[in-house]
Amino acid sequence: MHYSQSRRSFIKKVSAGASVLVLQPLLSACGNNAGSSPAFTNAEVDIELRLSAIPDKVQLFSGAPTIVWRYTGDVIKGPQKTLEVIPDSYLGPIIHLQKGQHVRVHFMNQLNESSIIHWHGLHVPESADGHPRLAISPGEEYIYEFTVMDRAGTYWYHPHPHGRTGPQVYQGLAGLLIVHDSEEDKLQLPQGAYDLPIVIQDRLFDKDNQFFYGGSPMDQMMGFLGNRLLINGRMQKVFSVESRPYRLRLLNGSNARIYSLAWSDGSPITVIATDGGLLEKPITRDHITLAPAQRMDLWADFSGRSVGSTLELISRANSTPGGNDEFQITAFSIDEDASTISELPQQLSTLILHDPKNAVNAASPRQFDLQMGMGMTWNINGRTFEMEKAANDERVRLGDLEIWQFNNTGGMGMLLPHPMHIHGLQFQVIERRIDPRYIDRYDSLSGGLVDEGWHDTVLVMPGEQVRVLIRFEDYQGLFLYHCHNLEHEDMGMMRNYRVVG
């Protein structure tokens, strides 16, 4: 099935009923390892939403529809444009929030197994972060409350039950969350139809058009890879665009695949934002490396290209599992001349960055060894996930600035890339060191790494040591850090860290 359309028809506004949801009593116990919803405050909120995880069907191919799990949403309070629905897609509605808004979300689990939502990249309290211990059972509700404290940027949301995150995301549970603020508004970057979300996911399908998710030991050890690409939760391979600049919001929503993205004609890629929002200045690369869970916003200028021409976004051949051959991600068909002239701002933002010298452990960074252990199980420092436990060396103090060092030492002769995600905060990537023995596995992707700006996920290549700088601000409690290869995470390559006062 082939699609060629603009975002005008690609995204429609969600329409919510005029009725207000009657709040159900809060549940005191939710799921096998569950906690309870945070205390309902009755505080005034700016935005109130209802999100449900439901089984559904979508028509991805001719023939039988594909059975999916998906998020659906309603606006209870706030502008109806807070939610945008992608028609004919399994992805959840795009959530638009403004920095400073106080938000309440009612999550309703209508699946046949426990689940919980994690707001990936957002700085929220422990009760709103979607820890697996808070997963709720079928038919139950969890209420989130938080204030949007993050900069304008491209974030996302997805399930986070222990041992089932990979299958649930693969079955369709994911959606974009876009934060806006006054700083970004002043730049007058492309908006509306010229601000395109591009969620990249790979899938396998069986002969009946159903998602096939393998559970073999090799699938879990390597990370599950598909052989078909879906863009924005549908089989869209071509965007119809005008001859003018666009903003492309890229999310690698795949379980395990790493992409090495480039323009098919060799033009440089211009990056304007990473996980945590705008960079100070635009940067250019011949290609960019996008690991699972990472986001990058691109300035894509189709000005001067002739009507009828096409430009492809490709993934270059690289040395990661499943990445040895070049293939097309999507394409842009220039179908209309545009009279609009828009220039890329050379100053995008002013970032207030931390100085590594001020870290409390500057002389002795906290160490995290990423390894394959006995029983062919991925772990961190020899430990796998424990629902409520953080070891003594996983305790940090509120307000401290620390250096964390991820060491991809492999163990058991197994070395794979690990996209490491730290919940609840954005960090700076301050140093990379590569073991010369693995330089051949590093070179194909290293030139595309974008370490500038703020991040919540960093790719640690085989044989590499990566240092990040992070300040533990505002919230005490139990938070996660883990590999965002979802099969590695589900195997136990995930741990808690505890923020104490």
Task: Return the pLDDT at 42.
Answer: 64
Taking the C-alpha atoms of residue 341 and residue 325, their distance in angstroms, rounded to an integer, is 37
Average of per-residue pLDDT across 180-205? 96
Is the confidence at residue 293, as pLDDT, over 90? yes
| Rounded alpha-carbon distances, angstroms, from residue 70 to 29, 34, 54, 166, 200 | 24, 22, 6, 14, 16
Secondary element (H or E) of residue 442: helix 439-446
Average of per-residue pLDDT across 320-328? 85
Set out the domains of the chain in order of their start, with CATH numbers: 4-182 (2.60.40.420), 192-336 (2.60.40.420), 356-500 (2.60.40.420)
Task: Return the pLDDT at 1.
Answer: 34
| Helix, strand, coil share of the chain (percent; to 5) | 10, 40, 45
- Of the candidates 122, 183, 150, the one whose C-alpha atom is nearest the C-alpha of residue 350 is 183
Which token pair is 474?
A: 């505002």
Q: What is the mean pLDDT of the chain?
A: 90
Is the confidence at residue 413, as pLDDT, over 50? yes
Mapping DSSP onto H, E and C, the string for 281-304 reads: EEEEECCEEECCCCEEEEEEECCC
Secondary element (H or E) of residue 7: helix 7-10
pLDDT band with cut points at 50, 70 and 90 for residue 13: very low
Task: Return the pLDDT at 128.
Answer: 98
pLDDT band with cut points at 50, 70 and 90 for residue 306: very high
Higher-pLDDT residue of 377 and 189 is 189
Taking the C-alpha atoms of residue 83 and residue 12, their distance in angstroms, rounded to an integer, is 9
Other C-beta atoms closer than 10 Å to the C-beta of 406 total 25
Taking the C-alpha atoms of residue 377 and residue 373, their distance in angstroms, rounded to an integer, is 5
pLDDT band with cut points at 50, 70 and 90 for residue 442: low
Phi-psi region of 304 (alpha: psi -120 to 50; beta: other; left: phi over 0): left
- Of the candidates 176, 150, 188, the one whose C-alpha atom is nearest the C-alpha of residue 348 is 188
Give the pLDDT confidence of 91-118 residue by residue, as tens digits: 999 999 999 999 999 999 999 999 999 9
Taking the C-alpha atoms of residue 98 and residue 147, their distance in angstroms, rounded to an integer, is 10
Is the confidence at residue 119, as pLDDT, over 70? yes
Residue type for position 231: I
Task: Return the pLDDT at 34.
Answer: 40
| Rounded alpha-carbon distances, angstroms, from residue 383 to 272, 346, 378, 386, 486 | 37, 45, 9, 9, 17
Q: Give the lowest-confidence range in 8-17, 74-83, 274-283.
A: 8-17
Cα angle: 465, vertex 469, 470; to 5 degrees: 130
Is the confidence at residue 17, as pLDDT, over 70? no
Task: Return the pLDDT at 37.
Answer: 54
Cα angle: 478, vertex 483, 486; to 5 degrees: 105
3-state secondary structure of 152: coil
- Of the candidates 179, 145, 405, the one whose C-alpha atom is nearest the C-alpha of residue 273 is 179
Task: Return the pLDDT at 32.
Answer: 38
DSSP states of 73-118 = EEEEES-GGGEEE-TT-SSPPEEEEETT-EEEEEEEE-SSS-B-EE
Task: Return the pLDDT at 47.
Answer: 98
Is the confidence at residue 181, as pLDDT, over 60? yes
Task: Return the pLDDT at 35.
Answer: 41
Task: Return the pLDDT at 41.
Answer: 60
Task: Return the pLDDT at 145.
Answer: 97
DSSP states of 304-340 = TPPTT-EEEEEE---SSTT-SS-EEEEEEEEEE----
Cα-atom radius of gyration of the chain, to the nearest Å?
A: 22
Higher-pLDDT residue of 318 and 270 is 270
Higher-pLDDT residue of 342 and 431 is 431
Is the confidence at residue 244, as pLDDT, over 70? yes
Residues in the chain: 501
Cα 442 to chain centroid, rounded: 23
Residues forming beta bridges with residue 421, ordered by sequence position: 457, 482
State what percent of residues in the chain have pLDDT above 70: 90
Task: Return the pLDDT at 216.
Answer: 81
3-state secondary structure of 481: strand
Taking the C-alpha atoms of residue 156 and residue 154, their distance in angstroms, rounded to an integer, is 7
Give the pLDDT confidence of 34-77 residue by residue, as tens digits: 444 554 566 799 999 999 999 999 999 999 999 999 999 999 99
